[in-house]
Amino acid sequence: MSDEPCCDVAHLGHVEIFTNKPEESLDFFVNVYGLTESGREGDSVYLRAFDDYEYHTLKLTASDTTGVGHIGYRCSSKAALERRVAVIEEMGCGKGWIDGDLGHGRAYQFTDPDGHLFELYYDTREYTAPADEQPALKNIAQRYHGRGVCVRRIDHLNLLARDVSAIREFMTKALGSRVTELIQLDNGRLGGCWFTVNNKSYDIAYTEDHANAQGRFHHVTYAVDQREDVLRAADIFLENGVFIETGPHKHAIQGTFFLYVYEPAGNRVEVANAGARLILRPDWKPVIWTEKERKKGQAWGLQTIASFHTHGTPQVGAD
């Protein structure tokens, strides 16, 4: 691998999640979480946060199951997209080109070793604010509407996988992602791995799935501007009967301030704030956490709740 950071992939574009309670999930995402609907087609509703520039960052699809449908990353340019496609095809993970959807143009599909479906694209559809959503200041995509948690933008997602080491090999090669932090288990396996394609500390993380399943989903996260927004979100979730799984607290890993809830269909959703922390260093070396260090709990000592290690979607067994 080159010693030069790869810039072919610009940012996490969107996440498609399945819901078997489409009306309740939509109400959660729009009225409680604070996303805005751009449009809908077939079984899917296209949603985004107020400062997401694309037509959508969340594709909410009605289904008889839950979990993740696919993950889309936007490339830096047409040429960058072609470069990535060539690499992925050579890796043997590619599925081929598809036409886009309401949200973006043609995209190249591929799967990770655990069976999660990804796509890369460059041609996207921009969000154009209608008159009643025009921002007072022109440098944000939509007005700060203040509805619900009013998250600012999509931040990252976390997927469950049976072999995180295999994921590490795959992700760094296929997307050219950098590993920012990881959990090294005593048994030699990776308990978790955090990746970034840009200066955000991570846009995707994988954690080891202990269930006998594959392709499962841990959570999707949108970012708010201040930690106080996360605290405020807790009260909004509480008053709206949303199940708060854990938080607010600060992660030891990455230091982000988090709050995890379950949306009505059971998919885990997070609200987070990373402060001013960015990975600007080009030769960043992954931070390695040992099992012993993980036992200390989160940054200020909160023990990670058991369900955080077991609950994923689709649910498996008593999870």
Nearer to its own copies (CB atom), residue 18 or residue 46: 46
- Minimum Å gap between C-beta 234 and its own copies is 5
Annotate the chain with three-state secondary structure. CCCCCCCCEEEEEEEEEEECCHHHHHHHHHHHCCCEEEEEECCEEEEECCCCCECCCEEEEECCCCEEEEEEEEECCHHHHHHHHHHHHHHCCEEEEECCCCCECCEEEEECCCCCEEEEECCECECCCCHHHCCCCCCCCCCCCCCCCCCCEEEEEEEEECCHHHHHHHHHHHCCCEEEEEEECCCCCEEEEEEECCCCCCCEEEEECCCCCCCCEEEEEEECCCHHHHHHHHHHHHHCCCEEEEEEEECCCCCCEEEEEECCCCCEEEEEECCCCCCCCCCCCCEEEEHHHHCCCCCCCCCCCHHHHHCCECCCCCC
At closest approach, how far in Å is the CB of 18 from its own copies? 26
Instruction: Output 163 or 225, the one with its CB closest to its own copies.
Output: 225
Identify which of residues 86 and 115 has a Cβ nearer to its own copies in the complex.
86
Shortest distance, position 170 Cβ to its own copies, whole Å = 22
Q: Residue 42 or residue 130: which is nearer to its own copies going by CB?
A: 130
CB of 219 to its own copies, least distance (A): 17
Q: Which pair of structure tokens corresponds to residue 243?
A: 């199940």
Q: Which residue's CB is nearer to its own copies, number 95 or number 284?
A: 284
Nearest approach, Cβ of 72 to its own copies (angstroms)? 13
Question: Nearest approach, Cβ of 42 to its own copies (angstroms)?
Answer: 27
Rounded to the nearest whole angstrom, what is the least distance from the CB of residue 54 to its own copies in the complex?
8
Provide, rounded to whole angstroms, the least separation between the CB of residue 307 and its own copies: 11
Report angle CA 161, 164, 169 to the nearest 5 degrees: 125
Of 18 and 55, nearer to its own copies (C-beta) is: 55
Of the two residues 211 and 234, which places its CB atom closer to its own copies in the complex?
Answer: 234
Take residue 146 and report the two structure tokens written for it.
Answer: 């203040």
Nearer Cβ to its own copies (91/278): 278
Strand partners, 21: none
Phi, psi (5° rounding) for residue 156?
-165, 175
What is the spatial distance between Cα 317 and Cα 319, in angstroms, rounded to a whole number?
5
